[in-house]
Structure 1
């Protein structure tokens, strides 16, 4: 498999995962919760860029509600596709992230931003203002 094919496969998998979790969330939530969910997904990339992934995840973890749902959805993707960074399943996601070395932290940050980009696209299409 060429590097380009591998990249496309990862991007397609990320898009598929994002579509499925957003569609599932939208289907189960009330319109008010969907509006919150949409708003939080749109805000989270800038929160990560300004404060860093660790602080953004700690914020989501502490806020609960739709933020915690997004936190869990992000972790779900990373457990599937970046499990080498999360060997201890009993460790809290945010704790694993804040204990990473800087190279791993950058890799995971970029992966989370790429996933959120897909989630934002789908939530924009599925939840109307």
Structure 2
């Protein structure tokens, strides 16, 4: 079996994470890249945490992916506070790389999420 490319792993993860999504989740997935572009990753993660519900779920899935990319496939979501602490300690280059990876994963989630929603 061939090794999956990074794009294939992003696509697979986005597909897996969007299982059971509703239209609310889809709308959040579609809006996050623009929010991050305008406000920044940490600000958007804080916003999603504060909003709770579907917002916090999608943010948690994004955090989990970002941790997997940096720590390996077995990594888990460190939670909102732990992840935010790590971002605050990150070098500017690392923070930029994490943000770029967030955009790359969200590109897939934006496409996969609507395909998983039943009963349009």
Instruction: Say yes or no: does 1:44 pair with 2:37.
Output: no
1:14 aligns with 2:16: no
Distance in 1 between the 2:36 and 2:107 partners? Answer: 12
**2:59 pairs with 1:71:** yes
CA distance in structure 2 between the aligned counterparts of 1:99 and 1:56, rounded to whole angstroms: 17
Tell me which residue corresponds to 1:31. none
Structure 1 stretches of 4+ moved >4 Å: none
Mapped to 2, the partners of 1:99 and 1:59 lie a distance apart of: 20
> Which has the larger helix fraction?
1
Q: Which residue of 1 aligns with 2:106?
A: 116
Matched, 1:56 2:44: yes
In the alignment, structure 2 segments of 5+ residues that lack a partner are: none
TM-score normalised to the size of structure 1? 0.77
Q: How far apart are residue 95 of structure 1 and its match?
A: 2.4
The root-mean-square deviation of aligned C-alpha atoms, in Å, is 2.4
Q: How many residues align?
A: 113
Q: How far is the alpha carbon of 1:98 from its aligned partner?
A: 2.8
Following TM superposition, by how much is the alpha carbon of 1:93 offset from its aligned partner in structure 2, in angstroms? 1.3
Please give the TM-score of this superposition, normalised by the length of structure 2.
Answer: 0.82
Alignment partners' CA distance in 1, 2:16 and 2:61: 11
1:93 aligns with 2:83: yes
Measured after TM superposition, the shift of residue 16 of structure 1 is: 0.5
Structure 1 stretch 37-46 or stretch 71-80: which is displaced more? 71-80
Deviation at 1:82, TM superposition (A): 1.1
